[in-house]
Amino acid sequence: QFPFGRRLPCDIYWHGVSFHDNNIFSGQVNKFPGMMETVRKITLSRAMRTMQDLFPAEYDFYPRSWILPEELPLFVTQVRVMKDSNPSWKPTFIVKPDGGCQGDGIYLIKDPSDVRLTGSIQSRPAVVQEYICEPLLVDKLKFDIRLYVLLKSLEPLEIYIAKDGLSRFCTEPYQEPTLKNLHQVFMHLTNYSLNIHSGNFIHSASVNTGSKRTFSSILCRLSSRGADVKKLWSDIISLVIKTIIALTPELKVYYQSDIPAGKPGPTCFQILGFDILLMKNLKPMLLEVNANPSMRIEHEQELSPGVFENVPSPVDEEVKVAVIRDTLRLVDPQKNKRKDAHLAFTTAKSAVIHSPVLQAGMKDKQHKHHSLKLSLKLKFYLKLGSCRSSEQAPGAGEELPDAAPSPEAALPSLCLKQVFPKYARHFSHLRLVDRVAALFIRFLGVRGTTKLGPTGFRTFIRNCQLSNSNFSMAAVDILYIDITRRWNSMSIDHKESGMCLQAFVEAFFCLAQKKYKTLQLHEQVKSLVELCECRLAALHGKRLLWGCG
């Protein structure tokens, strides 16, 4: 640890909360710039809504959401319309503060009029979502799943999912929400930090029982009941990949701001905590994504009033130690060097075995000289490959090991499974907003910024030839001002003026709808992206020709 700052470069930097060191010029950092902001409840809900607009059937795993206070009138209106069209619909909603964690400030309501506007909702905005009233129950208790996901690389996109996770249980038997039980947090909220204060919370030495269990133990139980566990895992993998695809455009904007292309800087990776709820029909629903999932492997136990002791938690240890260990194995910068050394060892061994020096049994001094050279070479490769080396040259007929034992040979198999790019072909069509973000970044102009100025927006329109007699440059300016002003009024961060990525995406969708009126939204956006990419490529080709000329 470097409490007063570091002096020497490192291979891996492990930051506590967020990416914060701008003096790193190499190595790898365990946090992405902007991840904390990207997975906040409001930003996540907006990203998911954008994808739901484009691909409604693909993104039905995220509950319908509204952002408070700006969408409160819309929330009230839409709920009233849905109730009028279906009088039997008796919804429940859950309100989550944007910056809240560990269950802080979460409450349930039955009607939009019950939203607590007292206090400062302007300074602490929130997301309100449809509450999932029919969760899967185990032992009559509601539970959620914490899965650990490694985002190893953003460009190219590389995602790993841990093969096991945690199942965190409520501590009171579940009942469907009513006005009488809405306030019973131990029945409705699965947050560990809340339920640990319940008198019914059970710390168990077994991974199969208690208020916190392994996800694999739940899968075994489901499998014994005849559930299709393979399909469930497939659905969870799909949910994770689609969620990260929704988040990557915003992350890329932050990344180019903190680590501009062409400048020396680190690469990044990050462990994320996905909180998932299973419905009664085994459909996984995304609750939220945590940028800083807890990696504690012990819990506090009260020995006597006011006296606490940290006690190991076997469940946490089994899951979390493997995630940390295998993350370090995957990002280990020395791994490729060891592979090269392993290959070199095998080559050297083959050379020694087939050498006439060994076959002749070192009969004269010249042979001895060659043998010594080969022995020293072999010892060098053995040492480089972290293998046991012999102090003496191998004699005639002496058997050499078949391969250099790898340092990883003693470790368990990886608990992290690669899911992207392994399954990329099934999801590549969803990466439309990624391509829109690439256009946005291209016209940002000033390095280190995350917002597009009016000149950059006009340049984008001109270079892509999107203005015409029906859409003049004056109309372009009006579109920019209207959308930017509205998004800036909703933003808490007013440090930087200009058009943010989400505002640009809205403007881009607006342009696509104007140009391709008869198509569906995702086809409109795809057509406009292809048109822009084609025209920019042609413009780049012309500039290269002019440069040569």
* Across 21-35, 52-66, 467-481, least confident range: 21-35
pLDDT of residue 197: 86
Is residue 150 within 8 A of residue 163, CB to CB? The reply is: no
Quick one: pLDDT band at residue 338, thresholds 50, 70, 90? low
pLDDT in tens, 177-217: 999 999 999 999 999 989 888 889 898 888 899 999 999 99
Provide mean pLDDT across the span 16-41. 84
Quick one: pLDDT band at residue 264, thresholds 50, 70, 90? confident
Which residues, 6 or more positions from 504, have their beta carbon under 8 angstroms from its beta carbon?
A: 436, 440, 452, 457
Checking if the pLDDT of 549 tops 50, the result is yes
Whether 104 maps to a domain, the answer reads no
pLDDT of residue 121: 52
pLDDT in tens, 390-432: 344 444 444 445 555 566 667 888 999 999 999 999 999 999 9
| Domain carrying residue 47 | 12-63+132-302+309-333
Specify the CATH number for the domain of residue 190: 3.30.470.20
In this structure, the answer to whether residues 139 and 284 fall within a common structural domain is yes
In this structure, the answer to whether residues 323 and 443 fall within a common structural domain is no
In this structure, the answer to whether residues 328 and 446 fall within a common structural domain is no
In this structure, the answer to whether residues 165 and 281 fall within a common structural domain is yes
Residues 260, 276: Cα–Cα separation, whole Å: 34
In this structure, the answer to whether residues 438 and 314 fall within a common structural domain is no
In this structure, the answer to whether residues 329 and 432 fall within a common structural domain is no
Whether 232 maps to a domain, the answer reads yes
pLDDT of residue 406: 62
Quick one: pLDDT band at residue 349, thresholds 50, 70, 90? very low
Quick one: pLDDT band at residue 127, thresholds 50, 70, 90? very high
Specify the CATH number for the domain of residue 446: 1.10.238.10
Tell me if residue 115 falls in helix, strand or coil: coil
C-alpha distance from residue 385 to each of 11, 335, 340, 376, 406 (Å): 19, 10, 8, 14, 7
Tokens describing residue 326: 């295998």
Quick one: pLDDT band at residue 528, thresholds 50, 70, 90? very high
Whether 127 maps to a domain, the answer reads no
In this structure, the answer to whether residues 327 and 436 fall within a common structural domain is no
What's CA 322's distance to the chain center, in Å? 18
pLDDT of residue 407: 62
Residues 448, 496: Cα–Cα separation, whole Å: 11
Is residue 145 within 8 A of residue 166, CB to CB? The reply is: yes
Whether 260 maps to a domain, the answer reads yes
Sheet holding 65-68, edge to edge: 65-68, 126-130, 93-97, 107-109
C-alpha distance from residue 378 to each of 11, 371, 375, 385 (Å): 28, 10, 5, 10
The domain total for the chain is: 2
Whether 126 maps to a domain, the answer reads no
Q: What is the DSSP letter of 430?
A: G
In this structure, the answer to whether residues 329 and 453 fall within a common structural domain is no
pLDDT of residue 404: 54
Provide mean pLDDT across the span 153-159. 95
Whether 48 maps to a domain, the answer reads yes
pLDDT of residue 102: 67
pLDDT of residue 11: 87
Q: Tell me the CB-side half-sphere exposure of residue 455, using CA atoms within 13 A.
A: 3
Is residue 5 within 8 A of residue 24, CB to CB? The reply is: no
Residues in the chain: 549
In this structure, the answer to whether residues 314 and 455 fall within a common structural domain is no
In this structure, the answer to whether residues 189 and 319 fall within a common structural domain is yes
In this structure, the answer to whether residues 321 and 437 fall within a common structural domain is no
24 or 510, which is more confident: 510
pLDDT of residue 370: 39
Q: What is the pTM assigned to this prediction?
A: 0.84
Whether 364 maps to a domain, the answer reads no
In this structure, the answer to whether residues 52 and 159 fall within a common structural domain is yes
455 or 371, which is more confident: 455
pLDDT of residue 497: 83
Provide mean pLDDT across the span 482-506. 85
pLDDT of residue 144: 96
Whether 529 maps to a domain, the answer reads yes
23 or 127, which is more confident: 127
263 or 155, which is more confident: 155
Which residues, 6 or more positions from 516, have their beta carbon under 8 angstroms from its beta carbon?
A: 523, 524, 527, 528
Which residues, 6 or more positions from 544, have their beta carbon under 8 angstroms from its beta carbon?
A: none
* Across 32-36, 161-165, 304-308, least confident range: 304-308
Residues 300, 312: Cα–Cα separation, whole Å: 9
Quick one: pLDDT band at residue 354, thresholds 50, 70, 90? very low
Tell me if residue 285 falls in helix, strand or coil: strand
For strands 93-97 and 107-109, give the pairing. antiparallel
Q: What is the DSSP letter of 279?
A: B
Average pLDDT value for the chain: 84
C-alpha distance from residue 264 to each of 7, 284, 336 (Å): 17, 41, 21
